[in-house]
Structure 1
Amino acid sequence: MPVVVDSDDDGTVAQELELEQMRSTLEEAIVKMCSTPLENRLRLPRLALSKRNRAVVRALNPMLVTYLEASRDLCETDSIIFGAALAVCRIINAKLTMAGRATGQSSAIPAWRIRIEERIAKARALIGRLICFRSGNTRPRIVRIVRMAFAGTNVSLSQPDIMQKLTAL
């Protein structure tokens, strides 16, 4: 749907026909969201703050008032707001995907757990290299990794008691 620039308003506004199309899209999205369970909702993309997108939001905001005034509880208000966001995405032709739970991602490992497991793996690799160094392996790569591990500390590889310090750590 094309959006026309209005020179009097110093912004963008939609024409009368487009407003009716927007209103019907909004109504359809709100009705659909009120009857859709939370876990089956579409995943909304992050939208750019372009003039066109702002114009669509400005055009839909006054239409939302009647729905929000008739809202009885917070769940219904949430469905109305989500429906309005869905209507904006449909009007500007944004790509919509299914929510994570509906696509089978609920069994996936959470991101926080993956990050922790990666940190543990890196720490184990570093410990293994420190053990190699302590055992007498002085290959340049091992020495470089040990130097980087002790960067910012007062431990230097040239100290005579470095092996004792590594054993104590």
Structure 2
Amino acid sequence: METRSTPLENRPRLPRIALSKRNRAVVRALNPMLVIYLEASRDLCETDSILFGAALAVCRIIGAKLSTSGRTTGQSSAIPAWRTRIEERIAKARALIGRLICFRSGNTRPRIVRTVRMAFAGTNVSLSQPDIMQKLTERIDDLKQKIASWGKRIRRYTERSTRFNQNRLFQSDQKRLYKSLERPMVSGTGPVLNQADTVAFWRSLWSEPVNHNEGPWTEVVASQCAGITPMDPVTITPDDVAEAVRRAPNWKSPGLDGLHHYWLKGFVVCHTVLARQFQEVLNQKSLPSLFTTGITHLVPKDQVLEQ
């Protein structure tokens, strides 16, 4: 399959698909086809590639839109689409006002004249009329009023969106809401951290092995725990995998592999293979890098960042 040799960061982003009967039927139809590939799977990484390829096939069959540029690790822009559209209107109106003022000041370059004619398109106003200066002033005032109206709309929509998000956050996580009210989130302020220095700092904490000297207290704790009955060996069954997947949200943000829980729920034939491979990992006490690698986003806490 094409996804087996593709690096995780180059995989396309799987979209959220509608929970319709047609889409569920496509997922169910692919289940028996995966048995041959899953039986030949050697480890969790290969199983993940097979499941991702199957999910990609479902998206192509149902006609879902796929991104071709790969998945980015950066955070997406927080500016909503409606605000971007209104700001574009304001920018165009301001540019038009500037050209109308230039024409009123005596600038008759062809590009300026062409813009003025487009501004009065659909009206009975001609540039040769004696009251053209008055018409220009009225048109400029009209554009200024529109800009003011659009600005008020942005403020009104922003206030409404803020109230909505705060109400929703209050229902789910009150502690986080109160923290956001005490210290609003700051983004894009202060000096930019050097990427190489940041990577080197966190790599020194997470990637370099360190020999710890725990001290004599560890021996005391070990002697106190010597009489504790060891835990019975854990056996992972397909039912355990199915139960864990069932309680997980469908479209929660995936890991580096980009595979959502929805696909683990839909491809039920993978539960047996996952149970066996997780049992092998548990017995070997070693996880593949797919499960131990993450993405770190640096979020500034204060307006002034100290290097």
Calculate the TM-score normalised by the size of structure 1: 0.44
Higher-RCO chain (CA-CA 8 Å, sequence separation at least 6): 2
